[in-house]
Amino acid sequence: MITDRDSITLKEQVIFQGGQEGKRVWEAGIAISRYIISNKGLFQGKAILDLGSGTGIGALTLMKFTEAQKVILSDYTEEILELLTQNRALQPRSQVAVDTKLVDWTIQETYEQLYEVKIDFVIATDVIYKGSPYDHLATLLYILAEKQNPRILIIIPRQRDCCQDFLRIMKEKGFNWTETELNDNLYSQKALENQKDSDKFYPGLKSLNFVLYTFNL
Ligand SMILES: C[S@@+](CC[C@H](N)C(=O)[O-])C[C@H]1O[C@@H](n2cnc3c(N)ncnc32)[C@H](O)[C@@H]1O
């Protein structure tokens, strides 16, 4: 459930091992879905790249609820790409063109394929955490920003310690940004029909303060 009126069907795996973080729907992913539904017009006719898509919650929300021109789902293992393909197939038909790409932020050859693709927006949620190669992600964002200057939307929980380090790296690369607190009730409401299940599977909806960072060079 994204809002009390809108929902999306996704397959996820609640128990996973290190390196399989993309198999779960993360609360920041739910937050970007809610943001997208509240700001549909922003994406009309646009091409959007989702980095570290995981289950695909952000990009598939764009596919289902907006009139985006194109969405590109991406992640770094064949296993997660297979999950993305399955989750895409669970969505109703849509006019939005959808593409899925293997993009590993740590391997430049895997993201060179993006240089010639039109990208108006980059979205990424819950990609800045201890152990994530966010320094490489910053390099990828810098290269894309230099080539096409997309608007980059990243949601990071305020509580995340390594966020400051990521921001330092982004500053060093010359990025500016704005911060928007996503503190409307919309962002903390239950994500499953049953409140208890929602609290059990997505506790962060109640405990995390989501911040939307919009970066540009
Ligand atoms: C915490 S999950 C967030 C998934 C999804 N964005 C969400 O909000 O539900 C982090 C995502 O980053 C991806 N990731 C981690 N390292 C990566 C890398 N080197 N290159 C590309 N994606 C990576 C993971 O596979 C996973 O999908």
Ligand 1 and 25: CB distance under 6 A: yes
User: Which residue range forms the structural domain that includes residue 102?
Assistant: 28-216
- The DSSP 8-state label assigned to residue 21 in this structure reads G
User: How far from 190 is each of 167, 196, 198, 205, CA to CA, in Å?
Assistant: 30, 9, 6, 8
The reported pTM is 0.96
Count the domains in the chain.
1
3 is a domain residue = no
22 is a domain residue = no
13 is a domain residue = no
Number of other residues whose CB lies within 10 A of the CB of residue 84:
24
- State the CATH number of the domain containing residue 74: 3.40.50.150
Measured at the CA of 194, the angle between CA 124 and CA 81, to 5 degrees, comes to 30
11 is a domain residue = no
Please state the rounded mean pLDDT for residues 169-197: 96
10 is a domain residue = no
19 is a domain residue = no
User: Is 95 within 8 Å of 68 (Cβ atoms)?
Assistant: no
List own/partner pairs for 1-7 with CB under 8 A and 24 or more apart.
1/190, 1/191, 1/192, 1/193, 1/198, 2/30, 2/33, 2/34, 2/37, 2/61, 2/191, 3/34, 3/37, 3/186, 3/189, 4/189, 6/37, 6/65
Phi and psi (nearest 5°) for 142? Answer: -65, -45
User: 17-26, 120-129, 184-193: which range is least confident on average?
Assistant: 17-26
pLDDT tens readout for residues 109-151: 999 999 989 999 999 999 999 999 999 999 999 999 999 999 9
105 is a domain residue = yes
State whether the Cα torsion 111-10-43-187 is positive or negative: negative
Q: Which atom of ligand 1 is nearest to the CA of 19?
A: 25
pLDDT value at position 78?
A: 95
190 is a domain residue = yes
| 104: Cα within 13 Å, side-chain hemisphere | 10
Ligand 1 and 20: CB distance under 6 A: no
| Ligand 1: centre distance to CA 139 (Å) | 16
| Ligand 1: centre distance to CA 73 (Å) | 11
Report the distance separating Cα 121 and Cα 124, nearest Å: 10
Decide if pLDDT at 102 tops 90: yes
Residue 168 tokens read as 């330092």
